[in-house]
Amino acid sequence: MPPASTSPLATYVEHLKRGELGYQFSPSSQKPVFYPRVIAPGTGAADLEWRVSKGLGTVHATTVTHPAKGDPYNVCLVDMDEGFRLMSRVEDIDPFAVKIGMRVKFRVHPAEGEEDPYPVFTPVEGA
């Protein structure tokens, strides 16, 4: 368990640096909590504990962004098998080929410069 002085965001980033997708879980409400918080939304319970996702999810929504410079890229919402949703992108596939319902798996986009690592996804083979 991290020290009490460690912020939820810092703990989340430490998980990413280890190649893990950390999330919180509230035993009193029996619900996952994501994005990291100090108390559970809806209940205000402070009983949040850290867990590590198995890294599998399903694309809930998707779009393609066309930046002024660079190639288009996918932005999506992913429903993780553990019951929480996060915004990310699917890589290693044409952004127009990402579809709602597609099974994806987590990986870490490594830190660059002063930027923290962040979660991205790749298609699950044979899904």
**Domain definitions of the chain by residue range:** 8-52, 56-123
By CB neighbour count within 10 A (0-12 exposed, 13-18 middle, 19+ buried), where does 38 fall?
Answer: exposed
pLDDT digits (tens, 9 = 90+) for 79-115: 999 999 999 999 999 999 999 999 999 999 988 888 9
CATH number of 56-123: 2.40.50
Residue-wise pLDDT for 9-38, tens only, equals: 999 999 999 999 999 999 999 999 999 999
Cβ pair 117, 108 in contact under 8 A: yes
- In terms of Cα–Cα distance, which of 58, 51, 33, 56 is closest to 106? 56
Query: Against a cut of 0.95, is the pTM above it?
Result: no
Residue pair 22/56 in contact (Cβ under 8 Å)? The answer is no
